Structures are given as C-alpha cells and as structure tokens.
Amino acid sequence: MTPSADMSTILNRILDTAADNLRVAKILIQLGLDPNNVTYDAIFNRLLELFLANITLANLFALIGAIFFVATLLTQTMVPLRVANMFGCAFFAGFGALAGNITTFLLYFLMVPINAFRLRQMLNLVKMARSATEGDASMEWLKPFMTERKYRKGDVLFKKDEAANEMMLTMTGKFLVKEIGVELPPGRLMGELGFLSPDNKRTATVTCLEDGHVLTITYEKLLEIYFQNPQFGYYFLVLTSQRLLENIARLEGIIAQNKIATQPTAN
C-alpha cells in the first residue's frame, strides 16, 4: 500500500468522524443544548423542560396507557393481564378521543369490551371449577370450551393403551368401561386420566351401549386454559383425584365381594 493511499484513508476517517460530530452537534443544538458544554444535568433539565412543555391531557392518557401495556408484557397469568389490558385500552381510547384520532379511539375502545368478555369468561371458569370441587360435579363450566360428537350403539370410543389426546363428557346415552364393567351415565368424565399420565395412554376401553353424544376437549385446549389461569389446574387436579378415588373405592368393593363369595361356608 502506497503512502498516498494511507493518507487518503486517514483523511476519509477524519472526514467521517467530523461528519458524525457535526450530526451530534446539530442534534444537540436542535434540543437547545450547547455542544461545547454538555453535561448530564443539562441534558436531564432540557428533556424535563421539553416534557413539561409538551405534556397535554391526551399525551398523559397515552403515557398511562403505555405503562399498562408494559404491565401486560410483565404479567404471567391471564386474569391480571386482561385487567391491565383493559385499563391500557381505556386510556389509549381516551388519548384517541382527546387527540381527535378516530381510528385510534375506535380500535382501543372496541378492545375494552372484548377484554372484559374474556376476563368474565375466565373468572366464571375458575368460579365454576371451584364450586365443582365443593360437590358440584356437573362439569357445566367446561362446556363452552368443548365440541359435540355423536356415537351409535356398539361404537368403540377408545381402547386401552392407545394414544390419548382428548377428554370426554357424556351427555346422553350409556357407555361401558369394559375392564371394570362400569356403565357411565350422562354427566361423567372419560379420558381425564390420560391427560395426567406421563405417556398419555388410555387406561381402559370404552364402548357405546346405546346411541348418545359426548362433548370433547383436547388436551392442548386444557393446557391452554391452565396456562391462562394456573388456578384452573389445581381445581382440575382435585376433580380428577375425586374420579380416581371413586374408581378405587369401586374396585375395593368388588374385591371385597369376591372375597366373601369365595370364602368356604360353615357346615
């Protein structure tokens, strides 16, 4: 490399640095600062002056809305997230109204009732799940999240040891758990244990004894509800434990009856 090339490179770097410094100086001048006397206090005081000079009620609403929006990003569960989102949307809608921006106003104004509806749905889910653990095992609280499926007499709903990906709630008809010979009337859960088992396998075979229909919900949807509100997971676990204990009590009764039947009679 020749000396002239080195000098050219150095000059280009000097010009680039000078241009950058000129840009910085221009920005500082636009902010009302002296480029030759820049301190943290001066920058802070100038920014504070600009903030106080430009703050309006509309901008204040936007600032509060932004704070609530940041709160939604830091919230881990759905209920407080919905609450924070509702407040944030309300303040942004206020900003749009005060600023005369009809698009912003309508967008955030319409999001308030949507968030309120979803919040009410989630609170009702938790409330009904709680009442279910206190004795009401109707499972009505899960129906809004389930889809209907019909079966005819003789149909096999699922077989033992096959992969499980959904839970069912009987609505009409009768269904038989073949391994233990138990009939399931309307209003009973099927397949909930597969959701909790590590390998998601069916623990029994269920067939349809007479025409009927069930409501189904996938395990993915159950997980979604759980992550939206971990309280639901606790209540669902209690309900499932109750079902498991009922099955154990039923099997213990059958074993006791078999022991009595096999005992030798006295002469």
For 10-58, what is each residue's pLDDT tens digit? 656 654 554 455 566 666 676 666 666 667 777 777 777 777 777 788 8
- Find which of 3-7, 157-161, 197-201 is predicted with most confidence, using mean pLDDT: 157-161
Top-confidence residue, 70 or 226: 70
- Mean pLDDT of all residues in 251-265: 75
Tokens standing for residue 265: 């009679």
Top-confidence residue, 163 or 255: 163
Tokens standing for residue 47: 């920014």
**Per-residue pLDDT, 141:** 67
213 vs 153: CA distance, rounded Å: 11
234 vs 125: CA distance, rounded Å: 13
First to last CA, the chain: 120
**Per-residue pLDDT, 183:** 86
Residues in Cβ contact with 134 at an 8 Å cutoff, skipping those fewer than 6 apart: none
Q: 77-127 pLDDT, tens per residue? A: 777 888 899 999 999 999 999 888 899 999 999 999 998 988 887 777 777
DSSP 47-112: HHHHHHHH--HHHHHHHHHHHHHHHHHH--SHHHHHHHHHHHHHHHHHHHHHHT-HHHHHHHHHHH
CATH of 140-260, one of 2.60.120.10, 3.40.50.300, 2.40.50.140, 2.40.240.10: 2.60.120.10
Top-confidence residue, 236 or 72: 72
Nearest to 99, CA basis, from 58, 52, 142: 58
Using an 8 Å Cβ cutoff, are 246 and 188 in contact? no
**Per-residue pLDDT, 199:** 79
Q: What is the mean pLDDT of the chain?
A: 78
- Mean pLDDT of all residues in 252-265: 75
**Per-residue pLDDT, 186:** 87
**Per-residue pLDDT, 258:** 78
**Per-residue pLDDT, 34:** 64
- Mean pLDDT of all residues in 124-137: 61
* Distance set, CA 66 to CA 18, 168, 244 (Å): 38, 43, 48
Please state, as a whole number, how many other Cβ atoms lie within 10 Å of the Cβ of residue 168: 22
Using an 8 Å Cβ cutoff, are 167 and 222 in contact? yes
pLDDT greater than 70 at residue 2 = no
Residues in Cβ contact with 29 at an 8 Å cutoff, skipping those fewer than 6 apart: 35
Q: What percentage of the chain exceeds 90 in pLDDT? A: 21
**Per-residue pLDDT, 219:** 85
Using an 8 Å Cβ cutoff, are 168 and 212 in contact? no
